[in-house]
Structure 1
Amino acid sequence: MPTSTTLLIADDDPAVCRLVETAAARLGHRTVAVADGRAALDAFAAAGRDGFGLVVLDLVMPELDGMGVLARLRERGPIPPVIALAAAGGFDAAPSALRAGAVDVLVKPLVVERVVLSIEQALRMRALEEALGRARRAAAGAPALGDLVAGSAAMERVARLVERAAATVLPVLIEGEAGVGKALIARILHAAGDRRGRPFVAVDGTALADERAAALLFGGERATGAAAERTVGALVEAHGGTLFIEEIAALAPLLQARLVRALQEGEVDPGGGRRPLRADVRLVASTGRDLIRLVREGRFREDLYYRINVFPIRVPPLRERRDDVPELVRRFALRFAAEERRSGVRGVSSAALDRLMRHDWPGNVRQLENAVFRAVLAAEGPLIEPEDFPQIADASVMPERAASAEPVAIALSPDVAAAPPAALPLARPAAGRSGPAIRLFGRTGEIRPMAEIEADVIRIAIDQYGGRMALVARRLGIGRSTLYRRLKELGLDGVDGPLAAE
């Protein structure tokens, strides 16, 4: 799952490492354990900047203590959330660890449930910070390459091309259907290139279909109601930076000719006997039309086509990159849940995700974003369900899916990342909320046998309390020997797992 992550555990006590590993595994995460501070730094360096999503760090270790590791990591730049572990009675170390950058401090001896809660909170906060960071960058017009969801093979290729194009000043032509994210890629190219910090000016080509709109691009007198005002035009505004022309195929023929001259000469003639103005721009253009066909039909200038088609990037429609749907849904739902203060929405059910992945999405990513926004507002429980997407009727859903694997429920933050579909609702419910529902009726519509219902209750209790059978028996109101006898009678002998011994 895209939301699964790897934890780095640094503690010289193997028992503590095993306990943290158990907590991480319960949430579906991978772990790497080391026994001292220097080994932690080596593991961090080997894994790379994004290798670990969370660090669990003992403050007292041989070679290099936890505070030293924190200091070294912060010197290297941004670091993932850090949960510090303090020795019994070590409450005095907590303020120092928090000031050094830890997000939480746990005092030994540890309890699995407390570790699980701390991991959940740290990763949820990180996910929210990432979502808000993307929103801030988008609002500021400076998105990063990491803001491009590229989990599918098709989008991985697009991401590589964008990265290569950003390192040049060559003209770029972004091709793709409406709603695939062409404008986002244009802004990433600018923000990741040498001209970042310089002007980024976007012009809608459909507004330039009329030759009388030439002032928008080249400057001059522009009518504003009964009066007229002089404007320098987008080319001059973008001097030193990037000019992005959306749907360049819509430009009027005369404006196409003027644009070719302006790009060749690096200056714009504003008309009216005025001196030419410099216009050193990096041109990024986008289109959803077949420019080759338009050139053959004489509706688009051939010289302009070859001038803008130096570095072409084709963005595939969403139906060709279905593997990206889960991460797109997670990002959109996380952002909208935060913006609309819908903190009760914690994830998307497997049934809803299956419907989203099978939908054809003629409006592409933009349509998916709007659908998720409505679903976040409509959701009545912790999971977004298929009925929260009424605009996606069964008739509009493809009978087969091209995705690589069966969809499973996704969480908005990585706290229950890799859990199977039935386990998402089993994440510890908040006070006042019910846990997972137990089916009373079977497939035939008849009441299920009591033994099956009892077996479901026991399975849920064992999962809820981490296989600690004494606690399970106490919560169910039966003796431990009775619990083991019922497990055997119901054929559940193997569900208790390695945590059963207490």
Structure 2
Amino acid sequence: MQAINGKILIVDDDPIQRRLLQEAVVKFGYRFKTAENGAEAVRIMTGPEASEIDLIILDMVMPELDGLGVLQRLRGDRIATPVIVQTAHGGIDTVVSVMNAGAQDFAVKPVAPERLNVSIRNLLKTSALEDEITRFRKQASGTLTFADIITHSPAMERVINLGKRAAASNIPILIEGESGVGKEMIASAIQGSSDRKSKPLVTVNCGAIPENLVESILFGHEKGAFTGAVDKHVGKFQEAHGGTLFLDEVGELPQEVQVKLLRAIQEGEIDPIGARRPVKVDFRLISATNRRLIDQVKDGAFREDLYYRLNVFPIWIPPLRDRREDIPALTRHFLARFAAEERKPQVAGVSADTLAMLQAYHWPGNIRQLENAVFRAVVLCDGAQLTAHDFPQVAAAVDQPAVPSPASGSAPAGFAGIAEAPVPAAVPSASVLARPLDPAAHPAPRAGFEQAAPFGFMRNLDQDGHVRKLADIEEELIRTAINHYSGRMTEVAKRLGIGRSTLYRKLKEYGLEEGGEDAAA
């Protein structure tokens, strides 16, 4: 798979010059599109193809509509795509004119390829940083729209089309998808595209609230309602009055709170703890989950009537591995932000082979994992571009040979296959995260059992050749799951097929809990 940093529109009426620029941008690792004159360039940039164009290389002197005219038309239509102007006439008046018209750079023909490459890299980085800043501001002000979401994927286009339709009404929405795919971003875009834009978007992570506080945090309480309630507390539903309430990981809500949530949706009113009468609330409800709620309904962990109230307009967001077209653009945007935050302005791009490697990786942690991997790579990078050496964990995973299937071969003696991925790159760790198994705690096996377990396998036999104890295997599997899912205990419990309370009990049994012996190792 060929990876690319972006797509460049080459506008020049000279076919030889267009061909030279095409060869140059392909060598730099970019895609290209060409336009033979200014009128064609304006048509492209005002049509559906404009979303794919990341930068324009524009000739100054052309028939019909010259470069200056193109710039004036684009900036007049508020099209902010960065532009490099090329001309054979480099007078100071010309430079001033095109820069005032909105060009970001100016080059006199013939321009050296190295100089052009540096200009492209710097402008793409600057553009990405400006987009990131704009996106943060819009999200904070509740005005983020679907146009601000970075995607070139047909799968995500379907998500965006559904989101736009949902935003036009007050219908309850259920967003499903794996952890890290961008569910909150979609919720923000729905809010910013609706008639409730600029109103509060109140986000609640239902899986992060202690069970004894869920009801108080969501619905509020009166002063003196219970021991410790020294003041009146306004709940999240009242905070979201007039705006949108986003319940992330809604499947984690306790059964007794699910009943009150159902009443809030049906009646448009809530009962704060200790209140004498219900409180009317006007809110738009968006829920999200990284697990299948219908399965929880079948298991009796989630109310069926509430499920059908939430699942009126379902939107499923595909994982990053199913929309690899988005990886180059996402990588560039994260790079721009972290290079600015870490004060490393010299890091201005990603090499083409590195992007190919990133697109080959399956990203179990999705966009959140990619973001953290780029953060770590920027910190490690000493050159002008991110390379495979700056993504050591991803590189190691991509280079791993495929795990043999039963049809193609069997695992080495003493190993059982588990389809696990490597530890996600550069994810901030809490103290509860398991570390890779300590070799000192697992002495080298005797001859005949000395080989290390291949990636994706667990050892069945101990160093004496006997079957290992179930408890030892269970402990190792829990460690692997915690590492693999970056300490996201809800996801760990889900993948292990156990409840969160059971998982925490087992962590305590094996000394893996926060503050335990193993956690301090």
Q: TM-score range by the shorter chain?
A: 0.5 to 0.7
* Matches for 1:412-427 after TM superposition, within 5 Å: none
Cα distance change on mapping 1:264 and 1:211 into 2, 3 Å? farther
Which residue is equivalent to 1:111?
Answer: 111
Please give the TM-score of this superposition, normalised by the length of structure 1: 0.67
CA positional deviation for 1:169 = 2.2
Cα distance change on mapping 1:41 and 1:315 into 2, 3 Å? closer
* Matches for 1:306-455 after TM superposition, within 5 Å: 306-322=308-324, 324-348=326-350, 356-357=358-359, 359=361, 361-391=363-393, 394=396, 399-400=401-402
Aligned residues: 398
Q: Distance in 1 between matches of 2:16 and 2:362?
A: 50
Which residue is equivalent to 1:263?
Answer: 265
The answer as to whether partners of 2:84 and 2:103 remain within 8 angstroms in 1 is yes
Cα distance change on mapping 1:397 and 1:273 into 2, 3 Å? same
Which residue is equivalent to 1:210?
Answer: 211
Which residue is equivalent to 2:461?
Answer: none
Q: Which has the higher contact order (CA 8 A, sep 6+)?
A: 1
Cα distance change on mapping 1:219 and 1:100 into 2, 3 Å? same
Please identify, of 94-103 and 359-368, the stretch whose mean Cα deviation from structure 2 is larger: 359-368
Root-mean-square deviation (CA, aligned residues, Å) is 3.6
Which residue is equivalent to 1:238?
Answer: 240
Deviations 1:378-430 (A, max 9, x none): 223344444434555847976349xxxxxxxxxxxxxxxxxxxxxxxxxxxxx
Deviations 1:212-261 (A, max 9, x none): 53221112237899562212211121112110111112222222111111
Q: Distance in 1 between matches of 2:10 and 2:45?
A: 8
- The 3-state SS of whatever aligns with 1:169 is coil
Which residue is equivalent to 1:168?
Answer: 169
Letter in 1 for 2:269: E
Which residue is equivalent to 2:231?
Answer: 229
CA positional deviation for 1:10 = 4.8
Q: Distance in 1 between matches of 2:253 and 2:312?
A: 19
Cα distance change on mapping 1:121 and 1:385 into 2, 3 Å? closer
* Matches for 1:144-159 after TM superposition, within 5 Å: 144-152=145-153, 154-159=155-160
CA positional deviation for 1:307 = 0.5
Which residue is equivalent to 1:91?
Answer: 92
Equivalent residue in structure 2 for 1:277, among 267, 279, 292: 279
Deviations 1:152-175 (A, max 9, x none): 554444333333333332111122
CA positional deviation for 1:200 = 0.4
The answer as to whether partners of 1:20 and 1:112 remain within 8 angstroms in 2 is no
The answer as to whether partners of 2:351 and 2:386 remain within 8 angstroms in 1 is yes
Q: Distance in 2 between matches of 1:237 and 1:396?
A: 46
Which residue is equivalent to 1:488?
Answer: none
The answer as to whether partners of 1:209 and 1:251 remain within 8 angstroms in 2 is no
CA positional deviation for 1:68 = 3.6
Please give the TM-score of this superposition, normalised by the length of structure 2: 0.65
* Matches for 1:9-24 after TM superposition, within 5 Å: 9-10=11-12, 20=21, 23-24=24-25
Cα distance change on mapping 1:101 and 1:130 into 2, 3 Å? same
The answer as to whether partners of 2:219 and 2:238 remain within 8 angstroms in 1 is yes
1:72 matched to 2:73? The reply is yes
Deviations 1:417-472 (A, max 9, x none): xxxxxxxxxxxxxxxxxxxxxxxxxxxxxxxxxxxxxxxxxxxxxxxxxxxxxxxx
Q: Which runs of 5+ in 2 are unaligned?
A: 404-521
Letter in 1 for 2:262: V
CA positional deviation for 1:196 = 1.3
The answer as to whether partners of 1:199 and 1:238 remain within 8 angstroms in 2 is yes
- The 3-state SS of whatever aligns with 2:266 is helix
Cα distance change on mapping 1:179 and 1:231 into 2, 3 Å? same
The answer as to whether partners of 1:172 and 1:284 remain within 8 angstroms in 2 is yes
Cα distance change on mapping 1:140 and 1:375 into 2, 3 Å? farther
Residue identity (%): 45
Q: Distance in 1 between matches of 2:362 and 2:57?
A: 42
Q: Distance in 1 between matches of 2:358 and 2:15?
A: 44
Cα distance change on mapping 1:165 and 1:5 into 2, 3 Å? same
CA positional deviation for 1:377 = 0.9
The answer as to whether partners of 2:6 and 2:53 remain within 8 angstroms in 1 is no
Q: Distance in 2 between matches of 1:250 and 1:174?
A: 15
The answer as to whether partners of 2:8 and 2:32 remain within 8 angstroms in 1 is yes
Letter in 1 for 2:287: A
Q: Distance in 2 between matches of 1:225 and 1:202?
A: 27
Q: Distance in 1 between matches of 2:349 and 2:40?
A: 36
The answer as to whether partners of 1:128 and 1:335 remain within 8 angstroms in 2 is yes
Which residue is equivalent to 1:190?
Answer: 191
The answer as to whether partners of 1:220 and 1:270 remain within 8 angstroms in 2 is yes
Cα distance change on mapping 1:378 and 1:214 into 2, 3 Å? same
Q: Distance in 2 between matches of 1:25 and 1:80?
A: 20
Q: Distance in 2 between matches of 1:16 and 1:385?
A: 31
Q: Distance in 1 between matches of 2:395 and 2:69?
A: 57
Which residue is equivalent to 2:250?
Answer: 248
- The 3-state SS of whatever aligns with 2:92 is coil
Cα distance change on mapping 1:379 and 1:260 into 2, 3 Å? same
Q: Which runs of 5+ in 1 are unaligned?
A: 402-502
Which residue is equivalent to 1:125?
Answer: 126
Which residue is equivalent to 1:177?
Answer: 178
